[in-house]
Amino acid sequence: MRSFKPDLLVYDFDGVMTDNRVLILQDGTEAVFVNRSDGWGIGQLRKAGIRQIILSTEVNPVVSVRAKKLHIEALQGRDDKAQDLSNYCQSKGIDLAKVLYVGNDVNDLDAMRMVGYPVAPADAHPEVLAIAKHVTQARGGEGVIKEISEILLSDLATSAVSLK
């Protein structure tokens, strides 16, 4: 990730922001565990002016609630993440080469192949690990985004220092 300055960070939800498990209550309500340190990392990246979105195949209120709390956009119910990401970037004037995408499973592969910097959690699917330019030490739901934020913000601080 060193020297890569993204214009957009894209996060898959399940398996990146969560440990890929879901708790289903008897009334059908779903719940997941998220890592609060990821929320801190997202906030610090937002303060640094880096745009971030969640891109998920799931349509689930828990994704919307988490995105709202983190003050980031969530694109849900996306069957073709690559096409949806391409459309999003085109509409916002973002070069795909300046996108960092964090994904963990085979439905992320096409989108990860088209961006400048694909990243995977330590416990991602083997095919995802094979194409990632960076694999976090953290497993999904265990601070993946916090780890990425620390690297990116450290790089930004180093760049700012070297520019003086």
Residues 57/107, Cβ–Cβ less than 8 Å: yes
What is the tens place of the pLDDT at every residue in 46-58? 999 999 999 999 8
- Supply the pTM of this predicted model: 0.93
Q: What is the mean pLDDT of the chain?
A: 93
| Contact of 159 with 150, CB cutoff 8 Å | no
Selected residue with higher pLDDT from 127 and 162 = 127
Domains and CATH numbers, the chain: 8-163 (3.40.50.1000)
Residues 9/153, Cβ–Cβ less than 8 Å: no
Confidence of residue 163 (pLDDT cuts 50, 70, 90): very low
pLDDT digits (tens, 9 = 90+) for 123-153: 999 999 999 999 999 999 999 999 999 999 9
pLDDT tens digits for range 21-33: 999 999 998 899 9
pLDDT of residue 79: 87
Residue 24, CB half-sphere, CA atoms under 13 Å: how many? 3
- The helix, strand and coil proportions of the chain, stated in percent and rounded to the nearest 5, come to 45, 15, 40
pLDDT(157) > 80: no
Does residue 162 carry a pLDDT above 60?
A: no
pLDDT interval class at 70 (50, 70, 90): very high
